[in-house]
């Protein structure tokens, strides 16, 4: 199938806003004309959306990216729409649904916390995402589900339960997630964070039974509880909830649509209702994916970081039918070109009052958090997976070989002692782009506040063996065993970077070189899922992908092998490192008793300290 591609300069889309004087259009807010739009071209979607009787707009894993991606380096402009733009898009799509006389529901699958300065850059005494969630609450979400990032810190979970959940009026779902707290009589109670399920009717009168399920997450904070999915489906409340047949089941949850436990929920429903349509909206692994568990269901996963807006539609038939349901799904690049194409609007008619208000409010919040504070100016782009490691454009090289040795030795009494510094590569979460390196950039690139520990007096010869051994533990079979166990442990803790990276790697390997060489496509996601047809709304060439090790470290010190040095590492990898250290030498069995704190500097502060010292 061939598509005609059109490239539209995003600058041209805002030209009308720049051209009209404020005094002639008092009712037209010009906040968008003041935004730092990338001076690049964006590709128009390849074709119109397919509407059905029931239609869905889906977001997941937004992680605070509510001001969109505003850096000019590709592929960031693909995702340059902010939450205000998205709100305007939803408004126009709802109007279109009314004119078509069909249902349109807005769905979110969790992980509102942890990712940008808007969620994480709050002043001392604040609560993560409390302020940014106020803007999400202004959108007409029909169902939202809890994510694992709502559970790492009890204060965040409590804030969601008290302040955010009530705004959804029974539609914020946490089927297998509870919180322990004091009730109004000071009794300790264990209650769902949101609601276990919801039953409601759509605008067109269709009956819906909805559940919100979290994967088997194991790193939730104390006083929160995550029940295993296998146990949840045997609960009496679950059995009662699915007993009555609705027009369709709507399963929304923070769980990937493949290789996890959705089949347990699906099969439990199918045992009671063999033909009722089931729509599943998943999340967590940050990829675009789709799967059909049978001919009357579809499951959609819509990426991460507001880099994807999902679309799903279904043409429903009579109850009891066993025929194939006609579904469609699409992965949209969230930018104003996409939004205006699908809503048949232009830059004069697209923005709604609420959309403009949300954009203005988010910018005000950003300013109040001082997210524009500049540590220094990055001399070039530093990339996680699109540049070879080691290399001058690799963020992992920058962090391990340059930033850690500078930042961790500032005002450190052990600065004069040679060292080897080791950290897991997953500690870095997003690219750093050329230009001002701000407080917000620091929070997006390196969000994890891990502590640095050390063991003193390890001879250089032994210390230098630890990093290679971490990355190449024994024989190939042994390494695979350890890596598999490590990945399972990380997954239970909520880590999904290894899955997202494998997805990028497969995308590049499939046809990256060929499609990039053609030169007629901009870079972006190129999805191959198991649902029929082409899922990507905008056609791209895949991003280049370069592999990197699981652990990275500073350059070995120029000392003899018998020189005592400091072995420095983050607390996140302490157990693995001790195991490896005891494997590369037999003179002593090291335990946690041998470990000390190296510096008060946290891993999330390293890049900022380095930028202040080197990039100014």
Mean pLDDT of 438-459: 96
pLDDT of residue 477: 54
- Contacts of 42 by beta carbon, 8 Å cutoff, 6+ apart: 7, 8, 9, 10, 77, 78, 333, 335, 337, 338, 522
Q: Residue 23 — very low, low, confident or very high, per pLDDT cuts 50/70/90?
A: very low
pLDDT of residue 206 exceeding 80, the answer is: yes
Q: Give the pLDDT confidence of 37-86 residue by residue, as tens digits.
A: 556 789 999 999 999 999 999 999 999 999 999 999 999 999 999 999 99
pLDDT of residue 279 exceeding 50, the answer is: yes
Q: Give the pLDDT confidence of 211-230 residue by residue, as tens digits.
A: 999 999 999 999 999 999 99
- For domain 374-501+546-614, say whether CATH 3.90.780.10 is its number: yes
- Give the residue, 24 or 383, on which the prediction is more confident: 383
DSSP 592: G
pLDDT of residue 293 exceeding 70, the answer is: yes
Q: Give me the percent of the chain exceeding a pLDDT of 70.
A: 92
Q: Give the pLDDT confidence of 501-519 residue by residue, as tens digits.
A: 999 999 999 999 999 999 9
pLDDT of residue 543: 96
Mean pLDDT of 286-290: 98
CA distance 51 to 34: 35
Q: Give the pLDDT confidence of 104-135 residue by residue, as tens digits.
A: 999 999 999 999 999 999 999 999 999 999 99
Domain residue ranges of the chain, discontinuous segments joined by +: 8-368, 374-501+546-614
8-368 CATH choice from 2.130.10.10, 3.40.30.10, 3.60.21.10, 3.40.190.10 = 3.60.21.10
pLDDT of residue 28 exceeding 70, the answer is: no
Mean pLDDT of 544-570: 97
Average pLDDT of the chain to the nearest whole number:
92
Mean pLDDT of 548-560: 96
Q: Residue 490 — very low, low, confident or very high, per pLDDT cuts 50/70/90?
A: confident
Q: How far is CA 285 from CA 77, 341, 355, 501, in A?
A: 22, 29, 29, 10
pLDDT of residue 479 exceeding 90, the answer is: no
Task: Answer yes or no: are the C-beta atoms of 326 and 31 closer than 8 Å.
Answer: no
Q: Residue 487 — very low, low, confident or very high, per pLDDT cuts 50/70/90?
A: confident
What are the strands, taking DSSP E only, across 501-557? 523-524, 541-542, 551-553
pLDDT of residue 9 exceeding 90, the answer is: no
CA distance 422 to 568: 6
pLDDT of residue 200 exceeding 90, the answer is: yes
Q: Give me the percent of the chain exceeding a pLDDT of 90.
A: 88
Q: Residue 1 — very low, low, confident or very high, per pLDDT cuts 50/70/90?
A: very low
pLDDT of residue 283: 98
CA distance 361 to 341: 26
pLDDT of residue 30: 36
What is the number of helices (H) and of strands (E) in the chain? 19, 26
pLDDT of residue 601: 98
pLDDT of residue 26: 34
pLDDT of residue 489 exceeding 90, the answer is: no
> 452 has which bridge partners?
570, 599
pLDDT of residue 29: 38
Mean pLDDT of 340-361: 97
């Amino acid at each position: 199938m061939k598509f005609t591609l059109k490239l539209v300069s995003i600058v041209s889309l805002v030209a009308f806003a720049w051209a009209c004087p404020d005094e002639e259009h008092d009712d037209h807010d010009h906040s968008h004309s003041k935004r730092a739009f990338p001076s690049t071209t964006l590709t128009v979607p390849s074709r119109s959306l397919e509407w059905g009787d029931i239609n869905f707009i889906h977001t997941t894993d937004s992680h605070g990216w509510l001001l969109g991606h505003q850096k000019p380096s590709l592929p960031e402009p693909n995702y340059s729409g902010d939450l205000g733009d998205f709100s305007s898009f939803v408004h126009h799509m709802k109007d279109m649904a009314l004119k078509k006389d069909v249902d349109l529901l807005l769905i979110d699958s969790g992980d509102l916390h942890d990712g940008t300065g808007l969620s994480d850059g709050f002043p001392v005494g604040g609560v993560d995402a409390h302020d940014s969630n106020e803007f999400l609450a202004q959108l007409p979400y029909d169902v939202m589900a809890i994510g694992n990032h709502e559970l790492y810190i009890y204060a965040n979970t409590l804030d969601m339960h008290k302040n955010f959940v009530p705004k959804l009026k029974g539609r914020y779902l946490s089927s297998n997630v509870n919180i322990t707290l004091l009730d109004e009589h000071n009794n300790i109670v264990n209650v769902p964070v949101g609601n276990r399920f919801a039953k409601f009717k759509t605008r067109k009168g269709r009956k819906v039974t909805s559940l919100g399920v979290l994967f088997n997450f194991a790193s939730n904070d104390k006083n929160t509880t995550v029940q295993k999915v296998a146990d949840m489906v045997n609960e009496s409340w679950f059995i009662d909830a699915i007993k009555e047949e609705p027009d369709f089941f709507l399963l929304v949850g923070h769980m990937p649509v493949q290789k996890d436990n959705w089949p347990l929920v699906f099969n439990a429903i199918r045992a009671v209702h063999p033909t009722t349509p089931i729509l599943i909206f998943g999340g967590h692994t940050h990829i675009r994916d789709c799967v059909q568990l049978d001919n009357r269901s579809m499951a959609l996963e819509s990426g991460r970081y507001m880099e994807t807006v999902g679309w799903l539609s279904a043409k429903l038939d009579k109850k009891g039918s066993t025929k194939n349901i006609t579904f469609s799904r699409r992965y949209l690049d969230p930018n104003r070109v996409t939004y205006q194409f699908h809503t048949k609007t232009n830059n004069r008619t697209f923005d709604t009052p609420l959309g403009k208000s949300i954009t203005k409010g988010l910018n005000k919040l950003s300013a109040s958090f001082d997210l524009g504070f500049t540590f220094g100016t990055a001399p070039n782009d530093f990339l996680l997976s699109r540049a070879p490691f080691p290399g001058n454009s690799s963020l992992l090289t920058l962090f391990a070989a340059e930033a850690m040795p500078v930042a961790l030795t500032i005002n450190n009494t052990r600065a004069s002692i040679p060292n080897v510094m080791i950290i897991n590569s997953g500690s870095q979460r997003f690219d750093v782009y050329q230009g001002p390196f701000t407080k917000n950039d620091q929070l997006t690139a390196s969000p994890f506040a891990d502590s640095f520990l050390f063991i003193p007096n390890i001879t250089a010869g032994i210390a230098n063996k630890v990093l290679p051994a971490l990355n190449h533990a024994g024989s190939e079979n042994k390494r695979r065993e350890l890596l598999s166990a490590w990945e399972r442990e990380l997954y239970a803790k909520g880590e999904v970077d290894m899955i997202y990276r494998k997805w990028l790697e497969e995308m590049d390997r499939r046809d990256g070189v060929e499609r990039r060489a053609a030169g007629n496509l901009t870079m972006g996601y190129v999805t191959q899922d198991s649902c029929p047809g082409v899922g990507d709304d905008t056609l791209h060439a895949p991003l280049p992908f370069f592999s990197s090790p699981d652990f990275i470290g500073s350059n070995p010190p120029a000392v003899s092998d018998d020189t005592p040095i400091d072995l420095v590492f983050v607390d996140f990898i302490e157990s693995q490192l001790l195991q490896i250290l005891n494997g590369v030498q037999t003179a002593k069995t090291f335990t946690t008793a041998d470990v000390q704190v190296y510096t008060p500097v946290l891993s999330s502060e390293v890049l900022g300290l380095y930028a202040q010292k080197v990039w100014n």
